[in-house]
């Protein structure tokens, strides 16, 4: 061996230890089964009656009889030369060893006199031997009676021990069938949590808020000496994929404290009282590890508002679990050092008691990333990718409005896969754009069969969308138009939605005109609409009802809003307005849609030449971009100067920006 030295001390003897574990149980069970199967493997005596025994004796076939007095049982051995006579009773096989038959008699049977009388009637050469005996095989009988139940018990214990381990993901865990009320939360020790705020890109406002929580955990006396109380909980609210869970891990990593993580659905079980028991056990463990963080993901699974409608949504077990959670959070000591973080994208359905101060003291909104935040997220995810030298991160950030952090991660991964399929040595801009197209629009369907007439209709449909959106100042800027089928869409007009916080009435009307542009174009060219505008009409209807019923943007209905932002009505089947008002809303929506249709028809009729030219170019090239549209229709219509955004007022017009598809359904 390497590093060995001559003349040194004798190497220590290795002690080999054998860990049998549960091997002894396997051996015991297998041995017992083998003994039970083969303990009677020699002779296989057949039961018979006393009348048959007398016939055997009278025929001179019996060699000897062993009679057990205390068991009133006799065992018969047949003469070897007479065994063939009874072969049928043994299934055609003659046993080679005795006894061959056995019988039972009553307690009134007198064996000495009976056997002596039978021997007296036989010739001297036909006498049989009588052996009187007492049964002393006590332990053998005990084993016969009790071995099988003992083996069954051992197997039952073994199986349930294994089931108990499997319920918990392996040995050493808690829970299982005998401890089902134990918490299933995963504990990450303070040395195991490696995520810090450096790993969280963007989320500026949310990070500022949670940094206070970190400071609470690191320097609690800084606040308690002034009479302040450490917050008991913080609720992370935001759309899916925005980084709520990652932010909670970063808090634990920065604070260097243990981190308990559990999903809200883990509390809910089929057994009564299990959820409440798991809540108690979770907080008991947390107090033992304090200071620490308890993170409950998707808390809406257990934190829904209680008793909104007993007929539709009552769940006593879930409500009991929620009550226990409320009790535990309110029962903390002010300086216990345990902070509860929870995440949800449905804050509107949470119970008000859960949201009050003293439980979740603050709500931290984790919104979709802005432009600069998306740029930082892209930089994080392309670290492990081999991208082209001229790759522009800012360009991709501009092309992904409305994308969450998870979406951007998916775009980067899909771009790498696309580049690999094309045998590229580096991932370039086009790979990223194709990845966005695939994620938003779906997989390109090259094998889709489309007739020439359908293709012309789709071209006019998409050209109608593009023309209207290009000529209206508040419509979303066009990026490209394509006839290539993707997903369920046979064609698509791709836009770069403006990241607006507020919508005016004019902006909504322009956007609705852009939505119905495809259907109106079909009416102009074909004389009738097709089913391709289904998705357009669905979105148009939603926006129209929103303007009338929720935003109060019509004179007839007035400045009224029937939107339920609290979710308090829940499963309430009644409407917050009368039937007369409902009829008025429907009439106003139809009037609004009719006005939008007429306005769109006028726009396309006045620009029919350019609209048809764009459709012809689209049929020729299958994909056209904003530059092509600008050559046909002129510069994009801009809003008034006081409505311009900083990007609009910049000198550089910038390149065509990213996409969100509008998908007509075939």
**Which residues are designated catalytic?**
462
The set of residues, in sequence order, having a beta carbon less than 8 Å from that of 105 and lying 6+ positions away, is 50, 72, 73, 74, 111
Task: Give every CB contact of residue 338 below 8 A, 6+ residues apart in sequence.
Answer: 232, 283, 286, 287, 290, 291, 292, 293, 294, 332
- Residue whose pair of structure tokens reads 């829904």 in the numeric block: 304
Residue 58 CB contacts under 8 Å (≥ 6 apart), including other chains: 118, 121, 122
Exposure pattern of 410-444 as b/e (b: 16+ CB <10 Å)? bbbebbbebbeeeeeeebbbebbbbbbbbbbbbee
Describe the crossing of helices 505-526 and 452-471 by its angle, rounded to 10 degrees: 150
Spacing of C-alpha 218 from chain mean position: 34
Nearest in space to 236 (alpha carbons), one of 245, 225, 224: 245
Q: How far apart are CA 308 and CA 326, in angstroms?
A: 18
Separation of alpha carbons 355 and 364, rounded Å: 12
Alpha carbon distance 265, 86 (integer Å) = 71
Neighbours of 474 (CB within 10 A): 23
Cis bond upstream, residue 291 (ω within 30): yes
- Residue 574, token pair as written in the block: 């009644």
Taking the C-alpha atoms of residue 129 and residue 25, their distance in angstroms, rounded to an integer, is: 47
* Owner of token pair 């290539």: 484
Cβ neighbours for 540, distance < 8 A, ≥ 6 positions apart: 512, 515, 516, 593, 596
Which residue from 339, 295, 297, 264 is spatially nearest to 193, judged by alpha carbons?
A: 295
What DSSP designation does 598 have? H
CB 126 within 8 A of CB 59: no
Upper half-sphere CA count for residue 134 (Cβ side, 13 Å)? 3
Rounded to the nearest 10 degrees, the angle between the axes of helix 244-255 and helix 204-218 is: 30
By DSSP bridging, strand 186-188 and strand 259-263 are antiparallel
Rounded-to-integer distance, Cα 344 and Cα 301, Å: 9
Extract the runs of DSSP E, i.e. beta strands, from 442-510. 478-482, 492-495
Residue 281 CA to its chain's centroid (Å): 24
């Amino acid at each position: 061996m390497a590093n060995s030295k001559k003349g040194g001390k004798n190497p220590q003897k290795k002690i080999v230890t054998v860990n049998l574990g549960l091997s002894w149980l396997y051996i015991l069970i297998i041995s017992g089964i083998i003994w039970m199967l083969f303990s009677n493997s020699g002779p296989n005596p057949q039961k018979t009656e006393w009348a048959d025994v007398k016939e055997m004796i009278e025929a001179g076939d019996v060699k000897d009889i062993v009679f057990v007095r205390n068991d009133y049982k006799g065992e018969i051995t047949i003469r070897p030369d007479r065994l063939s006579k009874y072969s049928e009773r043994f299934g055609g096989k003659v046993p080679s060893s005795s006894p061959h038959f056995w019988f039972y008699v009553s307690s009134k049977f007198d064996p000495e006199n009976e056997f002596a009388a039978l021997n007296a009637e036989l010739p001297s050469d036909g006498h049989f031997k009588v052996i009187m005996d007492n049964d002393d095989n006590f332990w053998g009988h005990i084993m016969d009676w009790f071995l099988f139940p003992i083996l069954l018990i051992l197997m039952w214990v073994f199986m349930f021990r294994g089931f108990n381990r499997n319920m918990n993901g392996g040995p050493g865990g808690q829970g299982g069938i005998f401890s089902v009320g134990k918490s299933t939360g995963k504990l990450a020790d303070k040395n195991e949590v490696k995520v810090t705020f450096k790993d969280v890109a963007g989320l500026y406002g949310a990070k500022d808020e949670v940094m206070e929580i970190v400071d609470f955990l690191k320097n609690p006396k800084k606040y308690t000496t002034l009479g302040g109380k450490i917050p008991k909980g913080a609720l992370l609210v935001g759309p899916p994929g925005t980084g709520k869970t990652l932010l909670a891990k970063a808090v634990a990593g920065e604070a260097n404290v243990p981190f308990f993580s559990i999903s809200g659905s883990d509390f809910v079980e089929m057994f009564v009282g299990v959820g409440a028991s798991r809540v108690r056990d979770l907080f008991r463990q947390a107090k033992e590890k304090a200071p620490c963080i308890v993170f409950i993901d998707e808390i809406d699974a257990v934190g829904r508002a209680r008793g909104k409608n007993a007929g539709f949504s009552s769940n006593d077990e879930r409500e009991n679990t929620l009550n226990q959670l409320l009790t535990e959070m309110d029962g903390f000591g002010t300086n216990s050092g345990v902070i509860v973080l929870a995440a949800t994208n449905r804050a509107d359905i949470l119970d008000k008691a859960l949201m009050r101060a003293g439980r979740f003291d603050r709500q931290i909104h984790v919104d979709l990333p802005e432009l600069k935040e998306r740029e930082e997220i892209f930089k994080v995810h392309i670290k492990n990718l081999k991208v082209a030298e001229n790759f522009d991160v800012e360009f991709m950030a501009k092309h992904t409005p409305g994308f969450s952090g998870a979406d951007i991660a998916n775009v980067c991964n899909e771009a790498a896969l696309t580049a690999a399929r094309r045998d590229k040595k580096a991932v370039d801009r086009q790979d990223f754009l194709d990845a966005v197209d695939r994620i938003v629009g779906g997989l390109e369907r090259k094998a889709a069969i489309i007739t020439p007439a359908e293709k012309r209709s789709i071209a006019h449909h998409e050209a109608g969308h593009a023309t209207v959106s290009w000529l209206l100042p508040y419509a979303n800027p066009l990026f490209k138009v394509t006839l290539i089928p993707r997903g369920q869409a046979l064609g698509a007009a791709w836009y770069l939605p403006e990241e607006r916080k507020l919508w005016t009435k004019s902006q909504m009307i322009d956007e609705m005109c852009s939505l119905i542009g495809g259907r109106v174009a079909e009416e102009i060219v074909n004389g009738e609409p097709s089913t391709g505008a289904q998705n357009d009409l669905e979105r148009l209807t939603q926006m129209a009802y929103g303007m009338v019923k929720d935003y109060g943007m019509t004179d007839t209905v007035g400045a009224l809003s029937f939107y339920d932002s609290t979710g308090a009505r829940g499963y309430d089947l009644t409407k917050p307005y009368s039937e007369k008002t409902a009829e008025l809303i429907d009439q106003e929506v139809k009037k609004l849609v009719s006005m939008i249709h007429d306005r769109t028809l006028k726009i396309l009729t006045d620009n029919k030449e350019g609209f048809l030219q764009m459709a012809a170019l689209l049929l020729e090239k299958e994909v056209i971009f904003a530059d092509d549209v600008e050559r046909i229709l002129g510069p994009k219509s801009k809003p008034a100067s006081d409505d311009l955004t900083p990007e609009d007022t910049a000198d550089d017009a910038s390149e065509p920006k990213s996409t969100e598809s509008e998908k007509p359904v075939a």
